[in-house]
Structure 1
Amino acid sequence: MTGPRVLKGHGTENDFVVLPDPDGDVWPESRLDGALVRRLCDRQGGLGADGVLRVVRSEHVPDAAAVLGDALGDCTWFMDHRNADGSHAEMCGNGIRVYLHVLLTEGLLSRAEALAGVLVGTRGGPRRVGLGESGYRVEMGAARPFGRGEAQLGGRLFPGIGVSMGNPHLACLTDVAVDSLDLTVQPRVDAALFPEGVNVELVNVLDAQEGPAGTTAHVRLRVFERGVGETRSCGTGACAAAYAALEAGGRDAGTVTVDVPGGRLTVEVAPDSTVLSGPAVVVSSGTLTAEWLGA
């Protein structure tokens, strides 16, 4: 049975349907529409995922030039990322690690190139990602605070800080155990502060001064992602949470261990940069059947 190839992968259990399409002729924009993305991500009727990643060269993405500008020529590859609801997403720290892992496993990138690091285009701008000592490292850009807000969840208010990681976040530090919260319902936020929606992080600071493996802080995170719902992990959310934890302690730099339901990430924060490190894995590969595509 033949059909378009499809992979399934995850980064700390933030999972993705991955569509290899290096020449842009299998999944053009006219085919990979919102309805198909939603079907692919459906956990009962499709493959099930938090989003879709199309592995494609930048030259085949219609809006790549507009979002990358002068960096277009430096970004051979573009992470065409869609949320589970079919909307486009600017950036995904877990997804871009999976993306590089697929470039390696598909033979589209050499190990030497991965060790050196490559620029990958995203709708949040170019991001450098490379193979590290334990998993993959992503240069996420600087964390940019943009005001204070609050999330309303279960009759409680959770004050937080707005942080842009190329996509918007509201990172809420709380003494309420995050494992006790019900995130089956979307937290309410100030639409004026977040006109395009926002990812909401609920964060427990486990240790503000010392974390595992010599890191300078340790937090636990749960996240409700716009266009998806609660996910097992969020890379950009981990960066926002790390920034918020350090900022609350009067620091603008440090290395934070971030525990998420799907595993553990490390975030290195500096005033002008943020580096996310963590694993990525391809779980399976196969083909989509004509029966399912034609349904």
Structure 2
Amino acid sequence: MIESAGPRVLQGHGTENDFVVLPDPDGSVWPEGRLDAALVRRLCDRRAGLGGDGVLRVVPSALVPDAAAVLGEALSRCEWFMDHRNADGSHAEMCGNGIRLFLHVLLAEGLLDRAAAEAGVLVGTRGGPRRVGALPEGGYWVDMGPARPLGDGAMVLGGRSVLGVGISMGNPHLVVLLDEPVAEVDLSTVPPVDAAMFPEGVNVEVVNVLPTADGADAHARMRVHERGVGETRSCGTGACAVASAALTAAGRSTGTVVVDVPGGRLSVGFDGRTTVLSGPAVVVAAGHLAPAWLAG
């Protein structure tokens, strides 16, 4: 008989940007010393583990050692903290797809009521506090904060140097607008970028600007190579960076952008002050980690 005494674990995704989710409502199941980089890599391994682009630990902000440093005076207003790790075990600042899944899990686990979710709640992240909420018709939104320009930057793509625009969404992005179809671009390895501009690495997005769709002000198709992960089916912060670049290319600073990713469709709105990302999130499996696997 397979044991079920191991800790609970969920799997879910937002537009196929998938995560292993670890509920830890009292902070005792996955303390920092247990959830180390090696275990994160094992959990995210798609052959020997559960598989995912990262790990999301659902834990109260007050129980995260570095939460006060990243949240400041907002610590007391962020009941929950999205302790996000990349698939390589490194800590991640922020993930727009992950935080929508995070809110979905808070609702599914009974840790937050629906009315509070629809009103919007602050969630702590290593990129700072983020307000996230549930849409009445389904799906979730998150206030991603402003898109901050980092300046132009170069990278090597297909043996040639191409120019992109650096954008910060709490984490760094290099967005490259291309005429060639993004489906033909090789993102199997990390595209070489200006290490002086991005000393800690960068998320790289390749983009086609398309005719407008669904009444939006701009429409883009993107693929992404995420820092610490590799190519993923979607990236929420990347979609926001891409949307900002697409609006700028259209001569606009506000409006709504439809962003198509390999895993589905996202909507990004700019009002001149902040960025709001909307899209789906779903839990696809729940169970327990086998003690024998954990011990291995």
What is the rounded CA distance, in whole Å, between the counterparts of 1:161 and 1:221 in structure 2? 14
Superposition deviation, residue 94 in structure 1: 0.1
1:115 aligns with 2:118: yes
1:106 aligns with 2:106: no
Give 1:215's aligned residue.
216
What is the rounded CA distance, in whole Å, between the counterparts of 2:284 and 2:161 in structure 1? 38
The amino acid across from 1:187 in the alignment is P
Superposition deviation, residue 157 in structure 1: 2.5
**Which of 196, 203, 222 is the equivalent residue of 1:192?**
196
TM-score (norm 2): 0.97
Give deviations 1:251-279, integer Å, cap 9, x for gaps.
11110000000000000023210000000
3-state DSSP of counterpart to 1:124:
coil
Give 1:224's aligned residue.
225
Q: How does 1:216-295 map to 2 (within 5 A)?
A: 216-295=217-296
3-state DSSP of counterpart to 1:90:
coil
What is the rounded CA distance, in whole Å, between the counterparts of 1:267 and 1:224 in structure 2? 20
Superposition deviation, residue 199 in structure 1: 0.2
**Which of 25, 28, 31 is the equivalent residue of 2:28?**
25
Superposition deviation, residue 127 in structure 1: 0.3
Give deviations 1:96-149, integer Å, cap 9, x for gaps.
000000000000000001110100000000000000134100000000001100
Give 1:44's aligned residue.
47
How large is the RMSD of aligned CA atoms in angstroms?
A: 0.8
What is the rounded CA distance, in whole Å, between the counterparts of 2:132 and 2:154 in structure 1? 32
1:157 aligns with 2:161: yes
What is the rounded CA distance, in whole Å, between the counterparts of 2:154 and 2:138 in structure 1? 35
1:78 aligns with 2:84: no
Superposition deviation, residue 74 in structure 1: 0.5
The amino acid across from 1:206 in the alignment is L
| Greater CA drift, 56-65 or 249-258 | 249-258
Give 1:58's aligned residue.
61
Contact 1:151 1:200 (C-alpha < 8 Å) held by counterparts = no
| Greater CA drift, 135-144 or 268-277 | 268-277
TM-score (norm 1): 0.98
Contact 2:218 2:250 (C-alpha < 8 Å) held by counterparts = no
Give 1:6's aligned residue.
9
Superposition deviation, residue 235 in structure 1: 0.2
Superposition deviation, residue 150 in structure 1: 1.7
Superposition deviation, residue 175 in structure 1: 0.5
Structure 2, unaligned runs of 5 or more? none
Superposition deviation, residue 154 in structure 1: 1.8
The amino acid across from 1:246 in the alignment is L
**Which of 108, 131, 134 is the equivalent residue of 1:131?**
134
3-state DSSP of counterpart to 1:220:
strand
Give 1:148's aligned residue.
152
Contact 2:54 2:85 (C-alpha < 8 Å) held by counterparts = yes
What is the rounded CA distance, in whole Å, between the counterparts of 2:153 and 2:138 in structure 1? 35
What is the rounded CA distance, in whole Å, between the counterparts of 2:93 and 2:160 in structure 1? 30
The amino acid across from 1:230 in the alignment is E
3-state DSSP of counterpart to 1:212:
coil
| Greater CA drift, 212-221 or 85-94 | 212-221
The amino acid across from 1:150 in the alignment is A
What is the rounded CA distance, in whole Å, between the counterparts of 1:61 and 1:88 in structure 2? 13
3-state DSSP of counterpart to 1:70:
helix
1:96 aligns with 2:99: yes
The amino acid across from 2:32 in the alignment is E
Identical amino acids, percent of aligned pairs: 72
Superposition deviation, residue 204 in structure 1: 0.3
What is the rounded CA distance, in whole Å, between the counterparts of 1:156 and 1:23 in structure 2? 51
What is the rounded CA distance, in whole Å, between the counterparts of 2:27 and 2:18 in structure 1? 22
Structure 1, unaligned runs of 5 or more? none
What is the rounded CA distance, in whole Å, between the counterparts of 2:250 and 2:195 in structure 1? 28
3-state DSSP of counterpart to 1:236:
helix
What is the rounded CA distance, in whole Å, between the counterparts of 2:162 and 2:7 in structure 1? 45
Could you list the structure 1 runs, at least 4 aligned residues long, displaced by more than 4 angstroms after superposition: none
Give deviations 1:21-47, integer Å, cap 9, x for gaps.
011100000000000000000000000
